[in-house]
Amino acid sequence: MSNEQQPEKPTIQFPCEDYHISVVADTHDGFVTILEEIVGRHCEGYQADQLRVIASKNGKYQSFRFSITAESEEQLKNLHEDLKATGRVHMVL
């Protein structure tokens, strides 16, 4: 066994402006509206005009990329949970 130290987990200084989030979800008509409602509920000042939507090669999935001002770890946790609760989201990065 090695006595090498594990690298420290990066910490976020809150509030963190321009915090980038990527969401990978099934392609579904109307999901953009659902995503924007969830993000708007958790992130004051969210600007929907900055949302980028990218379809996968075969069209089965979509990637949604946007930035928020992250206020706390709890806010990010709640946002992640609500996005996953849609049943359409595979990953939140």
Which DSSP helix (H) or strand (E) runs through 56? none
Domain ranges of the chain: 28-87
Residues 77-92: tens digit of each pLDDT: 999 999 999 999 999 9
Nearest Cα neighbor of 66 from 56, 78, 79, 77 is: 79
Residues 15-63: tens digit of each pLDDT: 999 999 999 999 999 999 999 999 999 999 999 999 999 999 999 999 9
Grade residue 1 by pLDDT with cuts at 50, 70 and 90.
low
- State residue 10's pLDDT score: 73
The torsion angle over the Cα atoms of residues 56, 59, 60 and 62, rounded to 10 degrees, is: 50
